[in-house]
Amino acid sequence: MRGVRGWSRPRGGSRRSTTAPRPWGRTSTPWLYLAPALVVLGGLLVYPVYQLGLISFFQYTQAQVSGGEPTTFEGFGNYAELFGDEQFWQVLLATVLFAAACVVSTLAVGCALAVLLTRVRALPRLVLMLAALGAWATPAVTGSTVWLLLFDPDFGPVNRILGLGDHSWTYGRYSAFFLVLLEVVWCSFPFVMVTVYAGIRAVPGEVLEAAALDGASQWRIWRSVLAPMLRPILTVVTIQSVIWDFKVFTQIYVMTNGGGIAGQNLVLNVYAYQQAFASSKYSLGSAIGVVMLLLLLAATLVYLRLLRRQGEEL
Amino acid sequence: MNPPRLRVQRPWRLAAEASALLIAVVVAFPLYWMVLSAFKPAGEIESSEPRPWTLAPSLDSFRRVFGQQEFGRYFVNSLVVACTVVIVSALIAFLAATAVTRFRFRFRTTLLIMFLVAQMVPVEALTIPLFFLMRDFGQLNTLGALILPHIAFSLPFAIWMLRGFVKAVPEALEEAAYIDGASRARFLWQILFPLVFPGLVATSVFSFISAWNDFLFAKSFIISDTSQSTLPMALLVFYKPDDPDWGGVMAASTVMTIPVLIFFVLVQRRLVSGLGGAVKD
């Protein structure tokens, strides 16, 4: 098993491999290996991003798509329209708060269960692991419909168990967001749990035993021993959760039927899609896309600085 | 396989095990309810007294799902898209990860940062430019329109994950291989590739899911030729927000979830150890 091999290997053994200059280093081979990836990414990611930026500066509606009218340069017109729109700021705030709530809940649940996994014997561990893998494997579309059925006011078991009658979860703004949050946490905590668990397992047992012998409490062990050792892993799962939860689309789209009553449950991604494909305002949708891109870029820069501060080498 | 040995007292361990099992039941409950609802006869799903069992399991919902035009075809389409994406992106990512971990060259760090930034790109926002791109290349209404973008979107994460696996293969092995006269290609495919394979499996889970799940691209790029449609589209046929056919939705959901479940169970052990290895280095 990799985990076991991982901690019997002297620490830092892998770092040397990248710092030592390679005798065969000065060739074109790396670029040869990179060529397919760069071609695919250039054509299907970089170029569309460039196009996205371009479209956001033009007037681009159904008429231009069908070729009926020429495209006209708008400058920052689309952005001015967007920033002048009160709904945009509302959606932006909702997106940030919703993503933050999802990330915090996912990390809390995932880490707690990872610690729990280390405290139990093989059978309960396997059962919980399989259940989590099941949640993880469930496609977003099916997960969304299943949770809707569970919380359905007429036929769902949850309202029966809680004795809520025909209370509708998707009617109120906050309860609808809460329902989506539950589904998002359900399908994304397994990644955190499995990754953190694998990380804890790679921590040498002697370290933990020494801490326990010195009289450290469970909480103290987690805070002062495990958390610092797991920091690289925690950084990775945090940033991945931020990326995924900020971009939530399917769950909101399916569970609140495209953004909720009067758009009360819109998040940026769904908002951009609605503007572009439902209202045919392709340039406005692109402008929202650009805003999202810049926000996530800012998050990436913070992440990179964190990695650098930890002395991590890329 | 040993977890860190902690001195856990007996009652505490039993309490921990009991809560682990309880949590497992809660986590698995939505899936159980999905399968259960798929097998319930029509009257029982739409009842105000939902029961967690059924005494008269029926295949009606499944019949309705498979009776829908070409459901089997959508299934095959989804499978073709997901498998192509997994294989192609794994191969490309393996080569790229090897390049950025086993070689030092100019712009290496820049490239790595670019791969990280690429993960941030909100895929849905790119639907607009991708639509025009696919139109210009005549890929609209073909499975290619679904395969190509997903290869691109799963690459950055796959490369980022695979780095750790490639790094973990000892340098000395490479030197020994060259001293023994192996060519670079031979080392790459006959030594490095098998060693990195568990990592490839772990990362392929992510590309498989993203391709299998996708319904936005399917909805946007497959406009007129429904024979090229995929499963999520077929599922949403049964889901009308005002009056959903819950039996049909749950049966289609079950059919859609099973392949992913099988895939997960197959790679389960590699996934757990793989993720630990990938983020460690």
> Which chain B positions have a beta carbon within 8 Å of A203's beta carbon?
4
- Whether B121 sits inside 8 A of A249 (CB atoms) is no
CA-closest candidate to residue B27, choices A249, A165, A124 = A124
Position A195 confidence tier, pLDDT thresholds 50, 70, 90: confident
Rounded mean pLDDT, A175-191: 94
Considering Cα of B19, then B24, then B25, then B27, what sign does the dihedral take? Answer: positive
- Whether A45 sits inside 8 A of B126 (CB atoms) is yes
The DSSP H or E segment spanning A73 is: strand A72-73
Between the alpha carbon of residue A108 and those of residues A60, A111, A292, B4, B275, the distances in Å are: 44, 5, 26, 21, 19
Q: What is the pLDDT of residue B274?
A: 62
Nearest to A137 among B121, B261, B281 (CB): B261
Rounded mean pLDDT, A143-155: 90
Q: Is the pLDDT of residue A7 over 50?
A: no
Q: What is the pLDDT of residue B69?
A: 67
For residue A120, the chain B residue with the least C-alpha distance is: B17
Q: What is the pLDDT of residue A188?
A: 93
CA-closest candidate to residue B125, choices A61, A296, A68 = A296
- CA-to-CA distance for A28 and A13, rounded, in angstroms? 27
pLDDT tens, position by position, B99-151: 998 888 888 888 888 888 888 777 777 888 898 888 888 888 888 889 999 99
* Residues 6 or more apart whose Cβ sits within 8 Å of residue B76: none
Q: Which amino acid type is present at position B168?
A: A
Instruction: Among 3.30.365.10, 1.10.3720.10, 1.10.357.10, 3.30.430.20, name the CATH number for the domain at B69-280.
Output: 1.10.3720.10
Q: What is the pLDDT of residue B138?
A: 82
* Residues 6 or more apart whose Cβ sits within 8 Å of residue B142: B225, B228
Q: Is the pLDDT of residue B30 over 90?
A: yes
Q: What SS3 class is residue B233?
A: helix
Q: What is the pLDDT of residue B152?
A: 92
Give the residue, A109 or B109, on which the prediction is more confident.
A109
Alpha carbon of B173: minimum distance to chain A alpha carbons (Å): 12
Q: What is the pLDDT of residue A169?
A: 87
Residues of chain A with pLDDT > 70: what percent? 89
- Measured distance between the N- and C-terminal CA atoms of chain B, rounded to whole angstroms: 19
Q: What is the pLDDT of residue A47?
A: 93
Alpha carbon of B1: minimum distance to chain A alpha carbons (Å): 7
Q: Is the pLDDT of residue A3 over 50?
A: no
Q: To probe the interface with A, which of B39, B280, B281 has the most A CB atoms within 10 Å? A: B280
Residues of chain A with pLDDT > 90: what percent? 30
Give the residue, A178 or A195, on which the prediction is more confident.
A178
Q: Is the pLDDT of residue A259 over 80?
A: yes
> Which chain B positions have a beta carbon within 8 Å of A277's beta carbon?
127, 220
Position A1 confidence tier, pLDDT thresholds 50, 70, 90: very low
- CA-to-CA distance for A57 and B210, rounded, in angstroms? 30
Alpha helices in chain A (DSSP H): 2-8, 16-19, 29-41, 47-56, 62-65, 77-83, 86-119, 122-137, 140-150, 157-162, 173-201, 205-213, 218-221, 227-229, 231-246, 250-255, 268-273, 282-309
Alpha carbon of A138: minimum distance to chain B alpha carbons (Å): 6
Q: What ipTM was predicted for this assembly?
A: 0.82
Q: What is the pLDDT of residue B81?
A: 94
Domain boundaries, chain B: 10-58, 69-280
Q: Spell out the domains of chain A, with CATH numbers in brackets.
A: 45-309 (1.10.3720.10)
* Residues 6 or more apart whose Cβ sits within 8 Å of residue B199: B161, B162, B164, B165, B166, B274, B277, B278
Pick from A36-40, A73-77, A243-247 the range whose average pLDDT is largest: A36-40
- CA-to-CA distance for A45 and A41, rounded, in angstroms? 5
User: What's the token pair of residue A164?
Assistant: 């809520």
- Work out the number of other CB atoms within 10 angstroms of the CB of residue A66: 8
CA-closest candidate to residue B68, choices B196, B234, B239, B250 = B234
Q: Is the pLDDT of residue B1 over 70?
A: no
Between the alpha carbon of residue A78 and those of residues A83, A88, A89, A290, B180, the distances in Å are: 9, 12, 15, 11, 63
> Which chain B positions have a beta carbon within 8 Å of A205's beta carbon?
2, 4-5
Position A217 confidence tier, pLDDT thresholds 50, 70, 90: confident
Q: Is the pLDDT of residue A5 over 70?
A: no
Q: Is the pLDDT of residue B214 over 90?
A: no
Q: Is the pLDDT of residue A35 over 90?
A: yes
Residues of chain B with pLDDT > 90: what percent? 20
Q: What is the pLDDT of residue B272?
A: 67
Q: What is the pLDDT of residue A218?
A: 78
Alpha carbon of A65: minimum distance to chain B alpha carbons (Å): 9
CA-closest candidate to residue B24, choices A176, A285, A61, A116 = A116
pLDDT tens, position by position, B264-281: 887 777 776 666 555 444
Pick from A88-102, A117-131, A143-157, B216-230 the range whose average pLDDT is largest: A88-102
Q: To probe the interface with A, which of B14, B21, B27, B29 has the most A CB atoms within 10 Å? A: B27
Q: Which range among A7-11, A186-190, A259-263 shows the weakest confidence by mean pLDDT? A: A7-11
Rounded mean pLDDT, B212-231: 81
Q: What is the pLDDT of residue A40?
A: 93
The DSSP H or E segment spanning B63 is: helix B60-67
- CA-to-CA distance for B51 and A85, rounded, in angstroms? 48
Q: Is the pLDDT of residue B6 over 60?
A: no
Q: Which residue has the tokens 């950084």?
A: A235
Rounded mean pLDDT, A121-147: 90
Give the residue, B156 or A64, on which the prediction is more confident.
B156
pLDDT tens, position by position, A57-85: 988 777 777 776 777 787 888 899 899 98
Q: What is the pLDDT of residue B61?
A: 85
> Which chain A positions have a beta carbon within 8 Å of B263's beta carbon?
137
pLDDT tens, position by position, B164-210: 788 878 888 888 888 888 888 888 888 889 888 878 887 888 888 88
Instruction: Provide the mean pLDDT of chain B.
Output: 83
Rounded mean pLDDT, A185-199: 90
Q: What is the pLDDT of residue B281?
A: 40
- CA-to-CA distance for B62 and A227, rounded, in angstroms? 48
